[in-house]
Amino acid sequence: MSAVSVRPSSGNTEMFDSAVFLNTLNVAGDGEMNSVTNYVSKIIVHENYSVNGTGYVNDIAIIVLEFPVTTVTPVQMAEETTTTQTKTTTKTTTKPTTKTTTKPTTQTTTKTTTKTTTKPTTKTTTKPTTTTTKPTTKTTKKSTTKKPALRNSFENSNAVIAGWGLTSDGGYSSETLKAANVKILTNQDCGQKWGSLFNANTMMCAAGSAPSSSICVDDEGGPILVGGSQVGIASFFSKSNQCNDPKAPAVFTRVSAYAAWIAKTMAKNPP
């Protein structure tokens, strides 16, 4: 993480001699074992970034470093997931062809001779013919369809926020990284609090129970994490610039909404 916070208009911003400190809790990156210092080559801001009143739209950017970092394990990001559905239709047709034919043949023959001998001959023949049932099973259709990408809303999830921003209204920025527990609110609650400034497709909002459990000035750009994965980026927090305003829970850029943009931009701009 780094304490760099950038709010340009849009597009690419060249930024030299700006240090990024990784694997450290100190804002100055001093005196910690295994910390890494890198430098900013350029900052790529989302091409559709804009200011919307007191909020921001497409509030996301990528910092391109001067050289690759190989000794620090990156935090995992939330991604869109695509579900695959296979439909198999099996049609079983049973054609019972059972034919039983019974042919009774009864023949009585009486022969009368001079000896007055009667020989009745009765012959009955039954010929049953049976044909068994023939079941026919036919698979008529097998198709694979991909549903649109599903996005986890993370509603009502417990989360952690972190940053070096102000710890109270009118206070000072922290020299060491601070963290707080919050809960991600439902999209409906966020929409009721923020109105047209909130877009559930690209944003989420969160609030904490403690007075200091919120982002504040200089926390913008910091993460919100669920289960160790970064699901959002701190964006804006109050119409009155008040920290932990119960009427305006902090808003975060929804990382999964920009997974494709992040991947494409990183591929085009390696360190």
- Burial readout 180-198 (b: 16 or more C-beta within 10 A, e: otherwise): bebbbbebebbbebbeebb
Banded model confidence at residue 15, pLDDT cuts 50, 70, 90:
low
How many folded domains does the chain comprise?
A: 1
Tens-place pLDDT, residues 69-100: 999 999 999 876 544 444 444 454 445 544 54
Q: Hunting for tokens 């060491």 — which residue is that?
A: 176
Q: What is the CATH number of the domain that holds 222?
A: 2.40.10.10
CB 232 within 8 A of CB 204: yes
CB 194 within 8 A of CB 205: yes
CB 42 within 8 A of CB 14: yes
Say which range, 141-145, 181-185, 197-201, 237-241, has the weakest mean pLDDT.
141-145
* Of 34, 35, 33, residue with least CA distance to 2: 35
Angle, CA of 198, 203 and 205, to the nearest 5°: 80
Residue 182 lies in a domain: yes
Tens-place pLDDT, residues 250-269: 999 999 999 999 999 999 99
Averaged pLDDT score across all residues of the chain: 78
Measured between alpha carbons, how far is 264 from 271 in angstroms, rounded to an integer?
14
Residue 138 lies in a domain: no
CB 235 within 8 A of CB 251: yes
Question: What range defines the domain where residue 55 resides?
Answer: 12-82+149-268
* Of 162, 124, 138, residue with least CA distance to 250: 162
Residue 129 lies in a domain: no
Amino acid at 186: T
Question: Residue by residue, what is the 3-state secondary structure of the chain?
Answer: CCCCCCCCCCCEEECCCCEEEECCCECCCCCCCCCEEEEEEEEEECCCCEEECCEEECCCEEEEECCCCCCCCCCCECCCECCEEEEEEEEEEEECCCCCECCCEEEEECCECCCCCECCEEEEECCCECCCCEEEEEEEEEEEEECCCECCCCCCCEEEEEECCECCCCCCECCECEEEEEEECCHHHHHHHHHHHCCCCCEEEEECCCCCCCCCCCCCCCEEEECCEEEEEEEECCCCCCCCCCCCCEEEEEHHHHHHHHHHHHHHCCC
Residue 115 lies in a domain: no
Q: What is the pLDDT of residue 226?
A: 97
Residue 212 lies in a domain: yes
CB 78 within 8 A of CB 115: no
Residue 87 lies in a domain: no
Residue 96 lies in a domain: no
* Of 88, 89, 86, residue with least CA distance to 145: 86
Residue 227 lies in a domain: yes
CB 62 within 8 A of CB 233: no
Tens-place pLDDT, residues 148-178: 445 678 999 999 999 999 887 778 889 999 9
- Burial readout 35-58 (b: 16 or more C-beta within 10 A, e: otherwise): bbebebbebbbbeebeeeeebbbb
